[in-house]
Structure formats: C-alpha cells, structure tokens
C-alpha cells in the first residue's frame, strides 16, 4: 500500500512543473490534489493487480497480461482522471494519467516476471 501511494505521490510531484506550469494563485494545492487523487489511484492499482493475479499462472507474455489488466480497469482509470480533471483541467489530467498508466504497466510487468520466476 505504501509503495502505491508513494508512486502516485512521486509522480504528481515529478509532474508538478509540467502539470502546473508556472505557479499561479488559482492553481491547486499539490498536497490537496494528492489527497483527493490517492483513493482513485489506489482503486485503479488494486483492480489491475487483481486481474493480473487471475492470469498469473498463464503463459501469456507479462507485457500482454499487464496491458489486459489495465484495459480491464478503464473505469478506475477514468475515476482518477475525473478527480485530476476537476483540479488541473482535462489536458493536464490526460498527461498525468498517461504517466501513471505507464508506471503501473511497468510495475505490473516487473511483478509478473518476479512471481513467475519463483
């Protein structure tokens, strides 16, 4: 759980200059944004992990399993994007969500490879 929260927090912090651009008085508080986005991000990651677990013993390549898991969790991805959209706007929400998706995909592949090699 802590690692998932850390991934989302680090991503939002790393993306802050891109997402927020130059700081303005009407820009969202990054800590508040993280607090709002964390539950949706956690649900998305739990959904993907559950779908990966169901296919873990299969013979499909890890990248394919990870991609299918993420595709199966579009509703959870959309929920995170909606939270972000309210705070940072549509195009910024798209960018951040795409970055989170890439990180989740990479982490899922790593987990699949590690668990299958045991």
pLDDT, position 25:
54
Roughly how many angstroms between the first and final C-alpha of the chain, as a whole number?
22
Give yes or no for a contact between 40 and 83, defined as CB atoms under 8 angstroms apart: yes
Divide the 118 residues of the chain into consecutive groups of 10 and give the mean pLDDT of each group: 56 54 63 92 97 95 98 98 95 96 97 95
Q: DSSP 3-state assignment of 79?
A: helix
pLDDT, position 30:
83
Distance of CA 112 to the CA centre of its chain: 17
Task: Return d(Cα 51, Cα 89) in angstroms, integer.
Answer: 30
In degrees and rounded to multiples of 5, residue 18 shows phi and psi of: -75, -45
Give yes or no for a contact between 83 and 100, defined as CB atoms under 8 angstroms apart: no
pLDDT, position 100:
95
């Amino acid at each position: 759980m802590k690692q998932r929260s850390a991934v989302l927090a680090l991503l939002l912090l790393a993306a802050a200059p891109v997402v927020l651009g130059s700081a303005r008085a009407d820009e969202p508080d990054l800590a508040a944004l993280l607090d709002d986005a964390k539950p949706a991000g956690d649900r998305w990651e739990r959904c993907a992990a559950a779908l990966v677990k169901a296919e873990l013993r299969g013979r499909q390549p890890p990248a394919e399993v990870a991609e299918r898991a993420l595709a199966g969790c579009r509703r959870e991805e959309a929920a995170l994007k909606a939270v972000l959209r309210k705070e940072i706007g549509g195009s910024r929400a798209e960018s951040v969500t795409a970055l989170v998706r890439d990180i989740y995909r990479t982490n899922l592949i790593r987990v699949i490879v590690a668990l299958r090699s045991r």
